[in-house]
Structure 1
Amino acid sequence: MNSSSVSKLSNLSQSNRDTSEERIFATFIGFKDYFDAEKEDKPSLRGFSHFDLSFFCSCSPSDPSQFKAVWSKRFKTAVQQHNIRNYAKHQPDWRTIQALIDLRKESRVESPSDTPSKQSGTTVSSSFLDFVRNQHQTLKGPKWILSTGTCVEDKILEFAMKCQYEHACHAMIIDVNDPSWSEYFTGDELEEISNHNNPALPKVSEKVKNHLDLFRTFDASKNPNGKVRQPGNYLST
């Protein structure tokens, strides 16, 4: 959450509003931060949970049976408020969310630190790390092996076992812009991860190239109406 969002939440916490109202208010501040940050993929409730897992867990209802209904309603309201029409319906792994919340209740130790390396400021317990290790062991399908022979999932687990504070790595999420990963992957490996499954741009046709070439010698002062004064339709089939 950005500084303004934290400030608003802090002010609200000092008011006389009940806990459920604070949680709802905080949730919609979090949605705004997520929508502002999500530029590549369609926004989704699963994406929001990955955006800030610690925040997602702390704002979840106390009754696990209400997770899906409550969060789905919040997400629907949020996309309507922000006029977002193009979004995905991907759901979080609710069993994992519940397990993380249960572990947080056992190991929650607040820290005043707000440095990027400590992320949520919440330390993790041995039982939490055992849960992360077990989740890694139950991963299905072939692991991601880079061209150098490095296994991405194993490196994520290695970092997760050493990370003393809640971090996206505990949910098997890697952000190549996080400087922490430079200790576990080389620069070339991070670039390979970043470029994985990038969509290939279609080849530009000769007709389009010819039309674009007209603008190399285009003189706006001689064409005040903005039209290229050349005969023929270069975009016709």
Structure 2
Amino acid sequence: MLIHDKSLGIVNDTAVSTVTDFWTTPASNESISNADTTSVTSFSNTSVYTENSVSAPSTCSTKQIKLAATDKERIKRVYEELDQASMWKLSTGTVVEKKMEEFALSCSYEHPAHSLILDTTDKSWTGYFTKEEMKEITTQNAKTLPELPTKSSSYIDDLEGYRALIR
């Protein structure tokens, strides 16, 4: 039963039902079992990652679908199509894209590595790169920020003094 009362802030939003339908009615018209999904629970301004759930800063809850065999094949094809000569070889001899491929194919759920994204703050990489390799990756072509103008720096210092008043 759906309640539709704007005065209480309760509305039947068709966009929400469309999102729900997307997750509950796959293109193949097969039902999704709980074994194939993991819940995504949301908390305001907090991201928490656990084995069975992912929390992201959001106000809605959805389900993350487990990667299908076709998804894994597509991911494998993306990595196979990379030019071997253009791959990044670290000083230790480790090829970054090969390690990313190894990790991407081991994932059961979507991850930025499936789009060739290496987030150095993601703790998942500790099993694939050593601390020295991660340091080399994060410091490669690192940009140095220009010195802040004195007037701006002074202004920020003044704002820091007001922080105690806000708390």
TM bin (shorter chain):
0.5 to 0.7
Q: Which amino acid letter does the alignment assign opposite residue 135 of structure 1? A: V
Measure, in 2, the Cα distance between the counterparts of 1:133 and 1:202. Answer: 41
For residues 78-227 of structure 1, the aligned pairs below 5 Å read: 105=27, 109-112=36-39, 115-116=49-50, 119=54, 121-140=64-83, 142-200=86-144
By how many angstroms is 1:135 displaced?
Answer: 0.8
Question: Which of 4, 12, 15 is matched with 1:19 structurally?
Answer: 15
Structure 1 residues 21 and 105, CA gap change in structure 2 (3 angstroms): closer
Structure 1 residues 178 and 15, CA gap change in structure 2 (3 angstroms): same
Q: Which amino acid letter does the alignment assign opposite residue 168 of structure 1? A: P
Structure 1 residues 16 and 200, CA gap change in structure 2 (3 angstroms): closer
Structure 1 residues 134 and 180, CA gap change in structure 2 (3 angstroms): same
* CA RMSD across the alignment: 3.3
For residues 41-80 of structure 1, the aligned pairs below 5 Å read: none
By how many angstroms is 1:18 displaced?
Answer: 1.3
Measure, in 2, the Cα distance between the counterparts of 1:199 and 1:125. Answer: 39
Give percent identity, aligned residues only: 29
Measure, in 2, the Cα distance between the counterparts of 1:112 and 1:199. Answer: 38
Structure 1 residues 195 and 21, CA gap change in structure 2 (3 angstroms): farther
Deviations 1:115-140 (A, max 9, x none): 35564732111110100010111124
Q: SS in structure 2 opposite 1:112? A: strand
Q: SS in structure 2 opposite 1:111? A: strand
TM-score (norm 2): 0.55
Deviations 1:173-216 (A, max 9, x none): 1111111100000001111111121124679xxxxxxxxxxxxx
Greater RCO, 1 or 2 (C-alpha within 8 Å, sep 6+): 1
More strand by share: 2
Aligned 8 A contact 1:113 1:121 in 2: yes
Measure, in 2, the Cα distance between the counterparts of 1:142 and 1:154. Answer: 12
Q: SS in structure 2 opposite 1:149? A: coil
Q: SS in structure 1 opposite 2:37? A: coil
Unaligned runs of 5+ in 1: 1-11, 24-57, 59-103, 204-237
By how many angstroms is 1:111 displaced?
Answer: 1.8
How many residues end up aligned between the 2 structures? 112
Measure, in 1, the Cα distance between the counterparts of 2:111 and 2:27. Answer: 17
Computing the radius of gyration from Cα coordinates, the structure with the larger value is 1
Aligned 8 A contact 1:133 1:157 in 2: yes
Measure, in 1, the Cα distance between the counterparts of 2:146 and 2:117. Answer: 30
